[in-house]
């Protein structure tokens, strides 16, 4: 799924002052707990590889808040392969609290000015803050246009991150001194979409919040004086937190650290949840647990669902092959249930570059460089090729061609551990136009499933193809359907602006009005408003 762009990852760490020192603290002591940040970001690197950065807080430093951000992976940004340069960065940005971010651009451009965290300096310490954000505001364009219509406002970036920064600044303007929970409560009424964020100000106050629907994940752990949070639990587990101390932050709740004390408070009323099902299927690290559900066990269950549907006759020439890496758990489980060998017929070159970041006409060439078929494993075989999903189909077409021509497979039967993706995402996954997607032209014709899958297989060059049904997703994740966001496979969105944008996307698709230069949510304020 190199053609499906990741979201972003957020992390935060705070060592509360006092006599006790956490055993998880780095050897340099609590005032340099920021040294934990690159390690945390490495564990959420799967969520974005375009840029990485952090902001640290140190009360006796001239720059109370200091932000470091660079393009590239965590290792590249923090120079982790160069001991001297990495140590220099850690010394310069040492602090007793830090927030961090890894980014992929679902909105905005690919330069360092879009890298996070975003820092807004101010003479008054409570108005000087930095924040990191994962998600997307569906009403970004409406908020943007409203800001630009007021007074002589000007925006320098085409990203909802800047919108959030200005909305938070608005709450802090004048002589008001709202608490961070009050700030979050007020801005949440204006935000339609998905977000998890971490904020740090020059007073040393911290906010960690999760959107009211819980679309985006956020986990946290507290042991003694050390508080840490991240988009995924694996980042906390690998810091040394006990598994039973790691929890998911409830939707609409926020952790605050104020005057060296932490609390967890609700900023939005509890209602329905809409957890992004793709987190369990693809985005999250397989070692993570989110909202009390193991990612690995969910993917294993998806494979078992595929096995129950399989009709191909067994034989010594039948093998299951996962598309590495995120489909491996599903493929293993499918093969075990069928009693068929699961083999690594595709080897992924981990150093071929970030093909999901580098879009454009060269995507197929990059996909071909990323996977090497093994003829010793595939030659003469009937291959059950297991993949997480098909989005645009570019990678799948390349794989099928190479498995036949290089691998020598006799037959290739594609099995997708997800239903057909028929609708865009406006909550943080970079697929905002229907025309980008492979499945809609087939689905809209209303053919019986078997006939539709046969036509899809012919189009791709596979011997057969099968998707999971929509109802299999909630069974595999172990959560009721009405607690999940399944908009991209149903066309039913959990927020009003999401549904409005979908109608814009449908209209554009039907009238061929899509602009290749614009995503639906970047241009749809007038149309959808």
Q: Return the structure tokens found at 504.
A: 């814009």
- C-alpha to C-alpha distance for 123 and 129, rounded to whole angstroms: 11
Segment holding 229, helix H or strand E: strand 226-230
Q: Is the dihedral of CA 174, 178, 180, 183 positive or negative?
A: negative
Q: Return the structure tokens found at 99.
A: 């927030």
Q: Answer whether 12's CB lies under 8 Å from 208's CB.
A: yes
- C-alpha to C-alpha distance for 219 and 235, rounded to whole angstroms: 9
Helix (H, G, I), strand (E, B) or coil at 499: helix
Q: Burial, 469: exposed, middle or buried (Cβ in 10 Å; 0-12, 13-18, 19+)?
A: middle
User: DSSP per residue over 259-298, as a string?
Assistant: TTEEEEEESS------EETHIIIIIS-TT-EETTEEHHHH
- C-alpha to C-alpha distance for 254 and 398, rounded to whole angstroms: 44
Q: Among this protein's residues, is 8 annotated catalytic?
A: yes
Maximum Cα–Cα distance across the chain: 76
198 φ, ψ to 5°? -130, 130
Place of tokens 């040393």: 204
Q: Answer whether 403's CB lies under 8 Å from 386's CB.
A: no
Helix (H, G, I), strand (E, B) or coil at 52: strand
349 φ, ψ to 5°? -85, 105
Number of neighbouring beta carbons within 10 Å of residue 207: 25
Question: For residue 128, how many C-alpha atoms fall within 13 Å in the half-sphere facing its CB?
Answer: 16
Helix (H, G, I), strand (E, B) or coil at 430: coil
Count the residues in the chain: 529
Instruction: Please pick, among 8, 107, 276, 342, the residue that the annotation labels catalytic.
Output: 8
Q: Return the structure tokens found at 272.
A: 């329905």
Of 522, 478, 3, 503, the closest CA to residue 275 belongs to: 478
- Which residues is 196 bridged to in the sheet? 134, 210
Q: Answer whether 136's CB lies under 8 Å from 106's CB.
A: yes
The residues annotated with a catalytic role in the active site are 8
């Amino acid at each position: 799924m190199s053609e499906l762009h990741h979201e972003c990852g957020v992390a935060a760490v705070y060592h509360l002052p006092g006599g006790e020192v956490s055993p998880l603290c780095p050897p340099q002591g609590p005032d340099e707990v920021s040294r934990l940040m690159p390690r945390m970001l490495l564990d959420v690197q799967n969520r974005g590889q375009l840029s990485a950065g952090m902001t640290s807080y140190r009360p006796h430093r001239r720059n109370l808040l200091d932000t470091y951000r660079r393009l590239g992976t965590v290792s590249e940004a923090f120079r982790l392969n160069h001991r001297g340069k990495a140590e220099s960065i850690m010394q310069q940005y040492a602090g007793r609290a830090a927030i961090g971010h890894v980014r992929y651009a679902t909105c905005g451009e690919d330069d360092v000015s879009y890298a996070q965290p975003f820092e807004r300096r101010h003479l008054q310490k409570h108005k000087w803050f930095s924040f990191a954000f994962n998600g997307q505001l569906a009403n970004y364009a409406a908020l943007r246009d409203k800001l630009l219509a007021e007074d002589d406002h000007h925006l320098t970036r085409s990203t909802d991150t800047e919108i959030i920064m200005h909305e938070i600044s608005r709450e802090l303007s004048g002589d008001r001194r709202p608490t961070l929970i009050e700030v979050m409560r007020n801005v949440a009424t204006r935000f339609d979409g998905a977000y998890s964020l971490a904020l740090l100000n020059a007073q040393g106050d911290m906010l960690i919040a999760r959107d009211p629907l819980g679309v985006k994940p956020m986990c946290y752990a507290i042991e003694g004086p050390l508080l840490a949070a991240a988009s995924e639990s694996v980042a906390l587990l690998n810091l040394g937190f006990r598994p039973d101390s790691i929890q998911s932050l409830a939707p609409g709740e926020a952790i605050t650290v104020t005057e060296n004390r932490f609390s967890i408070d609700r900023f939005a009323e509890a209602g329905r949840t809409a957890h992004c099902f793709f987190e369990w299927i693809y985005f999250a690290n397989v070692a993570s647990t989110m909202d009390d559900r193991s990612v690995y066990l969910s993917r294993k269950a998806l494979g078992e669902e595929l096995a129950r549907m399989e009709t191909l006759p067994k034989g010594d020439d039948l093998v299951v092959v996962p598309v590495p890496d995120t489909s491996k758990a599903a493929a293993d489980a499918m093969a075990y249930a069928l009693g068929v060998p699961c083999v690594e017929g595709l080897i992924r070159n981990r150093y071929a570059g970030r093909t999901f970041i580098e879009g454009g006409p060269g995507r197929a060439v990059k996909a071909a460089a990323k996977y090497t078929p093994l003829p010793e494993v595939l030659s003469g075989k009937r291959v059950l090729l297991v993949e997480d999903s098909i989005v645009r189909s570019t990678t799948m077409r390349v794989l099928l061609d190479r498995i036949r021509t290089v691998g020598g497979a006799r037959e290739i039967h594609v099995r997708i551990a997800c239903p057909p993706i028929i609708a865009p995402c406006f909550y943080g996954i970079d697929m905002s136009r229907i025309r980008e997607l492979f499945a809609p032209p087939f689905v809209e014709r209303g053919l019986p499933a078997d006939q539709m899958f046969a036509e899809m297989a012919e189009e791709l060059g596979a011997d057969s193809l099968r998707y999971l049904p929509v109802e299999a997703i909630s069974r595999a994740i172990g959560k009721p359907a009405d607690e999940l966001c399944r908009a991209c496979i149903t066309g039913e969105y959990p927020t009003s602006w999401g549904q409005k944008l979908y109608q814009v996307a449908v209209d554009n698709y039907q009238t061929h009005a899509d602009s290749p230069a614009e995503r639906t949510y970047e241009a749809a304020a007038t149309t959808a408003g």
